[in-house]
């Protein structure tokens, strides 16, 4: 399976980069994994303009990638790790060879992106920095694959 995280901006903190690199390495036996970043416009333009530009660039990347798109959204469906592992396995059984997880920028995203994605997933009602969310998400992706492959990681 091909798995991507499509997100806005670059990670600057070394501890987050180190964590992401560790889970990328762990994912290698299970999936072809990549992180694709689009430019963050937050400091250059108004929040609305930034959100529209970032959303447009995210949709462009998703159109190029194809596959099944899961948008991280506080109003999305909540699942626990076991449910999400089963869901990911179900997507594979349905013939979905690519799954893209999308993390918006600090200003959010427009309804166009919500409508473009097949699914919205919520990790909780808390707000997380979008850079940290990448690390949380990649750890969970590894957890889901470890559950499905019966690797002793999830407790």
pLDDT tens digits for 80-110?
A: 999 999 999 999 999 999 999 999 988 889 9
Enumerate residues 6+ apart whose C-beta is below 8 A from 18. Answer: none
Section 2-30 average pLDDT = 97
Q: Rounded CA gap, 138 and 155, in Å?
A: 17
Percent of the chain with pLDDT over 70: 99
pLDDT surpassing 90 at residue 152? no
Q: What is the pLDDT of residue 70?
A: 99
Q: 66: annotated binding-site residue? A: no
Name the helix (H) or strand (E) containing 95: none
| Ligand-binding site membership of 104 (annotated) | yes
pLDDT for 110: 94
Q: Residues near 34 by Cβ (< 8 Å), separated by ≥ 6?
A: 2, 3, 4, 5
Q: Give the chain's domains with CATH numbers.
A: 2-148 (3.40.1280.10)
b vs e for 60-80, b when ≥16 Cβ sit within 10 Å of the residue's Cβ?
Answer: ebbeebebbbbbbbeebeeee
Angle between helices 14-27 and 130-148 (to 10 degrees): 20
**Residues 6 or more apart whose Cβ sits within 8 Å of residue 96:** 1, 67, 68
pLDDT in tens, 46-84: 989 999 999 999 999 999 999 999 999 999 999 999 999
Residue corresponding to tokens 């990649």 = 138
pLDDT tier for residue 42 given thresholds of 50, 70 and 90 = confident
For residue 154, the model assigns a pLDDT of 67
The pTM score is: 0.95
> Above 80 in pLDDT, residue 155?
no
């Amino acid at each position: 399976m091909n798995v991507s995280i499509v997100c806005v901006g670059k990670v600057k903190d070394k501890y987050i980069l180190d964590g992401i690199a560790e889970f990328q390495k762990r994912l290698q036996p299970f999936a072809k994994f990549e992180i694709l970043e689009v430019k963050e416009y937050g400091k250059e333009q108004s929040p609305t303009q930034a959100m529209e530009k970032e959303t447009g660039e995210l949709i462009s990347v998703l159109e190029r990638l194809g596959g099944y798109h899961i948008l991280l959204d506080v109003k999305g469906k909540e699942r626990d790790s076991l449910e999400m592992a089963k869901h990911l396995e179900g997507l594979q059984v349905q013939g979905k060879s690519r799954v893209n997880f999308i993390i918006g920028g600090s200003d959010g995203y427009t309804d166009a992106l919500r409508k473009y994605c097949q699914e919205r997933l919520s990790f909780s009602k808390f707000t997380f920095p979008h850079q940290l969310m990448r690390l949380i998400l990649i750890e969970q992706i590894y957890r889901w694959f470890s559950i499905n492959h019966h690797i002793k990681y999830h407790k």
